[in-house]
Amino acid sequence: MSALDGFTAVKALGMGAVLSSVNPKNLVLLLAGVASISASSISGTQQAIVLIALASLSIAVPVGACFALGDRAEATLMPTKDWLARNNGAVMAVILVVFGAKLLGDGIQILS
């Protein structure tokens, strides 16, 4: 994780693309999100906007904080980064349990 801190923007973009494309968990979550959004009654254009907005939210918030806070952004965001790095397993477990429960609930609803 500490090696990522020294990446340039282009290298970070490439690494993000590689890591997200080879991780089966990301693919399953993407497909579940696409299925949920496409099952809604909104138009295709609105569905695409929602998908892009949700997908970019985890990147937009820290980048927005960097632009808004300038030099103070690192001091503000670093404790959150450190906490997430220390508690990565627990955070991922909670996220996957919540998504799993949601997908299971949706599946039961579709079958009933």
What residue ranges do the domains of the chain occupy?
Answer: 29-111
When mean pLDDT is compared across 41-45, 67-71, 73-77, 80-84, the lowest value belongs to 41-45
Residue 70, by phi and psi: left (phi above 0), alpha (psi -120 to 50) or beta? left
- Model confidence at 1, pLDDT cuts 50, 70, 90, reads low
Q: What is the pLDDT of residue 90?
A: 93
0.75 exceeded by pTM: no
Angle between helices 73-86 and 88-111 (to 10 degrees): 70
For residue 31, what are its two tokens? 């497909």
Q: Provide the token pair at 46.
A: 């609105």
pLDDT tens digits along 65-76: 888 888 888 888
| Helix, strand, coil percentages, rounded to 5, for the chain | 90, 0, 10
Check if the beta carbon of residue 91 is closer than 8 Å to that of residue 84: yes
Alpha carbon distance 80, 61 (integer Å):
12
